[in-house]
Amino acid sequence: MHSRSRDRKILRNASDVILLAAVFLTAVFLAKGHAGLPEKFLVLSAREWLLLILLSMIWNFGARVAGLYDEFRIRSFAGELSVLGASVLLHSFLTVAVLFTAKSQVLSRFFLFVYCFLLLGVLVIWKTALRWMFRRYLKNGRHQHRILVVGGGRIACSFFATIADNPHLGLRVIGYVSEKPAPECAGEHLGTIGQLPQLLERNSVDEVVVALPNGEIAHVERIIGMCENHPVRVRIIPDYFRYLDTRYSVSRFGLFPVITLRAHPLEGMCRRFAKRSFDLVFSALLFLTVFFWLWPLLALLIKASSPGPVFFKQERWGIKNKRIECYKFRSMTWDSKDVDENGRYQQARIDDPRVTRLGRFLRRNNLDELPQFINVLKGDMSIVGPRPHPTPMNLEVKDSIQHYQMRHLIKPGITGWAQVMGFRGETSDPRMLCRRIEADLWYIENWSFLLDLKIIVLTGWVMLKGDPHAY
């Protein structure tokens, strides 16, 4: 199954690059005609051929970041189109950056518009056709991969259900063998493990999947010996799923198979690089267009409204519990304290007397968080991620809230999924804090470039209308 998936990934990647090249040639041809230059469809200058190679490399990078070539057949079609849109958007963003440095009459805004528009349209048509071809290819059970399952427990039944829920995968489980029938399994009980050689002799089987509970693992060596007397591939599903979340990965270290709990997309270097690059570019644009006039204005208002410094610095926890100095515009009186006389952290609450009148406005519209873009430039934070909590709060709850420390697997953010979902403000109720942690972990395990853009847009909307949970 894995080798077939890898081959499909290579073929899909190659077909997309071929389509990209065709779109590029068409866009250059039309751009030359638009500019009044002599045009020939397949005639490119050395500079244009170099650009085509570069754009192909950029496409591969962006598609890997967006997860376009992950196993697509277990996704919904709408889900695949969403990932495709994110890939084209990221590719367009990187293409603009390249064309900005390549001044050419041909490589103009007209070329960029035609190239990006055609690329999206052609790829959507191709992905739609690909889905249709797979359905036709697998219609009426033809060309299906035949699987025999060894085991009748919880794992085997879950495997049956997965195959049944995804008929488009082209897999067919012909039945299972176990010492006794399992009524909860949807497949047909073909016999006992001892009858496996006769079953392989009588039936056409491509793969044998061993899905035994840990208590029956002693049978595995005997099962492998039986199977290897026949031309079938053997795969083993370990009984570790009780320890796993929905996100995990399987890799190999030397000769050892390794299962990683709570695997997340930002473990990949390409995706971390893409997220960091976006953070730097987006932050730089804000400094050049908005912050250069907004920050001095806010600084004057803060100084005029109450005595004390403009900025407030506070120790918080970043990635891997690293202590960072987090910057904010001061929204409380200069002599306010984070901890009470008993050493407990004091969260901001409704009508908190420590918050100034201007501070309430800044906090309600999230303007007090803007100096954290300095943390982004320093590399302590990202634009989107789990919000960093002050050190006293981390020390209070890290041992009492399950999975709390897992939110520090990635860099904290100025905004995050928990914040746009409304899980911000005071968390004196542990249930509210648990929901925030759940939202943070969901973001970590489901990160995508498109999700970051969605959170940024939602954050902008919250800033415009004001957040009732910000006080």
Q: What is the DSSP string of 91-119?
A: HHHHHHHHHHHS--SSSSHHHHHHHHHHH
User: Mind listing the pLDDT tens digit for each residue in 427-440?
Assistant: 666 778 888 999 99
Neighbour count for residue 304 (Cβ, 10 Å)? 8
Residue 388's pLDDT is what?
A: 92
* Pair (185, 107) in one structural domain: no
413 DSSP β-pair partners: 382
**Full residue range of the structural domain in which residue 124 is found:** 2-137
DSSP 339: B
313 DSSP β-pair partners: 327
Residue 252 forms part of a structural domain: no
Residue 138's pLDDT is what?
A: 62
Residue 273 forms part of a structural domain: yes
* Pair (398, 446) in one structural domain: yes
Does the predicted model carry a pTM greater than 0.75?
A: no
* Pair (132, 146) in one structural domain: no
Residue 73's pLDDT is what?
A: 47
Amino acid identity for residue 395 in this structure: L
Residue 154 forms part of a structural domain: yes
Contact 251, 260 (CB under 8 A): yes
* Pair (104, 220) in one structural domain: no
Contact 339, 386 (CB under 8 A): no
* Pair (355, 294) in one structural domain: yes
Residue 262 forms part of a structural domain: no
Residue 244's pLDDT is what?
A: 64
The structure tokens listed for 19 are 């389509």
Residue 249 forms part of a structural domain: no
* Pair (298, 438) in one structural domain: yes
Residue 260 forms part of a structural domain: no
Contact 299, 362 (CB under 8 A): no
Q: How far apart are the first and last CA of the chain?
A: 53
Residue 386 forms part of a structural domain: yes
Q: What's the CATH code of the domain at 188?
A: 3.40.50.720
Residue 248 forms part of a structural domain: no
Domain end position, chosen among 117, 137, 157: 137
Long-range contacts of 305-312 (CB under 8 A, 24+ apart): 305/356, 305/357, 305/358, 306/333, 306/334, 306/356, 306/358, 307/334, 308/333, 308/334, 309/334, 311/371
* Pair (455, 356) in one structural domain: yes
User: Mind listing the pLDDT tens digit for each residue in 349-363?
Assistant: 666 778 888 888 888
* Pair (182, 310) in one structural domain: no
140 Cβ contact list (under 8 Å, min separation 6): none
| Strand, helix or coil for residue 460 | helix
* Pair (37, 179) in one structural domain: no
* Pair (421, 277) in one structural domain: yes
| Number of domains composing the chain | 3
* Pair (221, 171) in one structural domain: yes
| DSSP string computed for 353-400 | TTB-HHHHHHHHTTGGGTTHHHHHHHTS-EEESPPPPBHHHHHHHTTT
* Pair (318, 436) in one structural domain: yes
Contact 7, 241 (CB under 8 A): no
Domain end position, chosen among 110, 137, 164: 137
Which residues in the chain come in under a pLDDT of 50? 72-73
Residue 249's pLDDT is what?
A: 73
Q: What is the C-alpha separation between 448 and 129, in angstroms, rounded?
A: 25
Domain end position, chosen among 77, 104, 137: 137
